[in-house]
Amino acid sequence: MRIVRGIAWLLLFVGAWAQAAQLRPFGKGDMARLLAERQGHAFVLTLWSTDCPHCKTSLRQLAALAKTHPQLDLVVVNTDSADESQTIAAMLAAVGLGGRDIWVFAAAAPERLRFEIDRHWGGELPRTYLFESDHQFAAFSGPVDAGALQQWLVRHAGADRPPHPHP
């Protein structure tokens, strides 16, 4: 009985932690929903994993960008699973990306989600997309090219809007 109560408390704690970190499940159809919600607006989408050494560099780069451009619509998607909620939340807090639109893969077949995001993406991480307001995009594997990021920012500096509201 103690074990059952302990597991129940642990699940409650993990659920509260994930909720506090605003982790949302990213499943089938969510990419289409993200695009529809941002129709006519530019945004940045980044995908990363907790065990990816280059992802920390990319997350720090995007956190610095978000700090200097607080109105930037930045969507952060972790490709691990909800089982890693504590680690995900801790890593995002460490780089300063709390309070953003944070998602975590929630599908048994992550390949399908990758295909839904970008048919040409082979799963390499980090992966960042700079979406234009018409939802054409430039994709980057590894840290985003600073020059391309600066050009994108110049085009969208006047079009920044508050981060997308969380449901």
Higher pLDDT, 150 or 76: 76
Is the confidence at residue 19, as pLDDT, over 70?
no
**Cβ atoms < 10 Å from Cβ of 122:** 9
**Domain map of the chain by residue range?**
2-159
Residue 78's H or E segment, with its range, is strand 74-78
Where is pLDDT greater, at 112 or 5? 112
Can you spell out the DSSP letters for 138-149?
EEEESSPPHHHH
Q: Reply yes or no on whether the pLDDT at 21 is more than 80.
A: no
Greatest Cα-to-Cα distance within the chain, rounded to the nearest angstrom: 60
Instruction: Look at strands 137-141 and 74-78 and give their pairing.
Output: unpaired
State pTM to two decimals.
Answer: 0.82
Per-residue pLDDT reduced to its tens digit, 94-145 = 999 987 889 999 988 899 999 999 999 999 999 999 999 999 999 999 988 8
- Architecture of 2-159 per CATH? 3-Layer(aba) Sandwich (3.40)
For the residues 85-99, what does the mean pLDDT come to? 92
